[in-house]
């Protein structure tokens, strides 16, 4: 009888949990990756609704949909939700799904930690969104949370700071998991310089996260102690300096920009070789360029604050180091174009998003070079030109790469093919109207329209109307994306081959090694790698 009980206990232990237990107690990297992606899509929707409200207010000069404090609260929430709630969790979701598959690992190295790092997020997001509804109004200090603006918002202020702490803890735990997995669980023969580019970009991103999230935590904690415990880090009346907050915040803030974009570089480096039917041009150069970008991102933070009264020597240093970061980025763009050069191209939805990324991310890069120049930055700083710049980097950059990655790997995940026609509709609506939305903002900024204002002079009305119309159609067209994904999972046509792109790559193991194997292939064995080395 005792043996029967033991056998039953073992059977129960081995039995996979079903229903809600499968998700709450998930340790499977695919389940956790799926939950991250669903959370990111939810926050993307909420952040997008805030953006629609902002564009509705700015549709015409003199619109009075929201009072100024409410408007600024919307801009604060939109920025924080999109960065910490949408883009970063989406990248972690893709990392959870793909890194073990790409390096031949059975799962992430620390599965229970993986579960914890996800389940911290719903509480953090709830706290952040709840700060919008507490008495006294939401924080209206911008996503940068500058101290003189932040400390007048009562209960919303500490709620937001604790939400930031929770999101930071989640990011650090996730980053530790990624590093441990990549360093310890690679398949035999999978050396670092044979890893797919997506794995490489995530390894470097994870180190960035561990380095800079504590800096943000320190900055907001100093604000908290200024407000509640009588310290004077940023309070000029007590001998502090608000500009100190800018230095600490942007020391976090600039590497954070690369945390948002480096995994996108990895995905584009996966998609372009597949649909060019060629191996990636300059694989090692891409790895070193990624590492160079990550290193340089730590020494350029001052370009966000040229106008605070910085010494000329510091301005020169930050200007030149910022321009230097364009070199490794240029290497990457050159290599992507060289990969496509004389390739046998086909334009399925992932490739369409990758090509749009190349063009539109480059526009964001060029406007970034303009902002890197101190004399011109004096004119552009605090205008809509800056808004146009960073949205070109983050929407056609990070968001388009996420779309491309999901369209690329969804058939692999689900075993079904999505509606190609609808996916192309989603692409064309997105790529046209993202430009209608953000390109006019360059003109508004150059003409002198300030950012973060609920109303503006009448001469800015025409371009604001164009921008708002683009925003409404771009926002509405994103409804297609979850519809395409859900339809694919429920009723998509089953795919027979290992991947629908098998016909597109034609590479198999004829590539001269060391070449990264592709994410749709089975992880290589020692024999395969030896065979590749012989060739």
Cβ atoms 298, 325 nearer than 8 A:
no
The whole-angstrom separation of Cα 82 and Cα 72 is 15
The whole-angstrom separation of Cα 129 and Cα 150 is 16
Q: What is the DSSP letter of 497?
A: S
Cβ atoms 234, 245 nearer than 8 A:
yes
The whole-angstrom separation of Cα 317 and Cα 143 is 26
Cβ atoms 218, 226 nearer than 8 A:
no
Cα dihedral 497, 501, 505, 507 sign: negative
Token pair for 294: 């990550």
- Side-chain half-sphere exposure of 363, counting CA atoms within 13 A: 22
The whole-angstrom separation of Cα 81 and Cα 71 is 15
Separation of CA 217 from chain center: 19
- Residue among 118, 170, 430, 396 at smallest CA distance from 264: 396
Centre a 10 Å sphere on the Cβ of residue 308 and count the other Cβ atoms it contains: 12
Does 514 sit behind a cis peptide bond, omega within 30 degrees of 0 on the bond before it? yes
The whole-angstrom separation of Cα 251 and Cα 290 is 19
- Residue among 362, 351, 386 at smallest CA distance from 372: 386
The whole-angstrom separation of Cα 327 and Cα 316 is 18
Which residue, chain included where needed, has tokens 């609506």? 429
- Side-chain half-sphere exposure of 401, counting CA atoms within 13 A: 28
Cβ atoms 302, 243 nearer than 8 A:
no
Distances in Å between the Cα of 274 and the Cα atoms of 193, 196, 288, 327, 514 are: 19, 12, 22, 26, 17
Residues 6 or more apart whose Cβ sits within 8 Å of residue 462: none
Q: Which residues are catalytic?
A: 78, 107, 143, 170-171, 254, 256, 258, 269, 303-304, 329, 332, 451
């Amino acid at each position: 009888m005792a043996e029967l009980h033991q056998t039953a206990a073992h059977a129960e232990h081995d039995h996979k949990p079903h229903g809600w237990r499968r998700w709450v107690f998930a340790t499977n990297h695919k389940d956790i990756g799926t939950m991250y992606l669903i959370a990111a899509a939810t926050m993307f929707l909420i952040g997008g609704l805030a953006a629609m409200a902002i564009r509705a207010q700015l549709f015409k000069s003199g619109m009075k949909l929201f009072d100024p404090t409410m408007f600024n609260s919307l801009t604060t929430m939109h920025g924080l939700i999109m960065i910490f709630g949408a883009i970063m969790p989406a990248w972690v979701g893709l990392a959870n799904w793909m890194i073990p598959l790409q390096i031949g690992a059975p799962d992430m190295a620390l599965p229970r930690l993986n579960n914890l790092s996800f389940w911290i997020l719903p509480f953090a997001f709830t706290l952040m969104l709840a700060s919008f509804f507490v008495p006294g109004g939401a924080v209206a200090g911008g996503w940068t949370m500058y101290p003189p603006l932040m400390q007048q918002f009562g209960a919303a202020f500490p709620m937001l700071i604790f939400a930031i702490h929770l999101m930071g803890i989640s990011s650090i735990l996730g980053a530790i998991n990624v590093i441990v997995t990549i360093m310890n669980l690679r398949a035999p023969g999978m050396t670092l310089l044979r890893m797919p580019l997506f794995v490489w970009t995530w390894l470097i991103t994870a180190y960035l996260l561990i380095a800079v999230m504590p800096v943000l935590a320190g900055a907001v904690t100093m604000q908290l102690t200024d407000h509640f415990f009588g310290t004077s880090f940023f309070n000029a009346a007590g001998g502090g300096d608000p500009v100190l907050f800018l230095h600490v915040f942007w020391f976090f803030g600039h590497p954070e920009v690369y945390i948002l974009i480096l995994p996108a570089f990895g995905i584009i480096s996966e998609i372009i070789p597949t649909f060019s039917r060629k191996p990636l041009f300059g694989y090692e150069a891409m790895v070193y360029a990624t590492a160079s970008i990550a290193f340089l991102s730590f020494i350029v933070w001052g370009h966000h604050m040229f106008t605070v009264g910085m010494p000329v020597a510091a301005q020169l240093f930050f200007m030149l180091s910022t321009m230097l970061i364009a070199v490794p980025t240029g290497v990457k763009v050159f290599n992507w174009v060289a990969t496509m050069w004389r390739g046998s191209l086909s334009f399925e939805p992932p490739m369409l998003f990758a090509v749009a990324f190349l063009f539109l991310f480059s526009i964001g890069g060029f406007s970034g070079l303009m902002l890197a120049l101190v004399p011109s930055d004096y004119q552009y700083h605090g205008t809509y030109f800056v808004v146009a710049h960073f949205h070109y980097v983050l929407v056609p950059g990070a968001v388009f790469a996420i779309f491309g990655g999901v369209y690329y790997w969804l058939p692999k995940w689900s075993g079904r093919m999505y509606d190609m026609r609808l996916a192309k509709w989603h692409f064309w609506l997105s790529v046209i109207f993202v430009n209608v939305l953000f390109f006019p903002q360059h003109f508004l900024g150059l003409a002198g329209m300030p950012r973060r204002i609920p109303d503006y002079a009448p001469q800015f009305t025409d371009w604001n109307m164009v921008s708002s119309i683009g925003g409404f159609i771009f926002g509405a067209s994103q409804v297609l994306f979850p519809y395409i994904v859900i339809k694919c999972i429920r009723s998509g046509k089953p795919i027979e081959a290992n991947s629908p792109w098998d016909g597109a790559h034609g590479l198999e193991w004829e590539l001269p090694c060391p070449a990264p194997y592709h994410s749709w292939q089975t992880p290589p064995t020692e024999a395969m790698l030896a065979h590749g080395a012989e060739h």
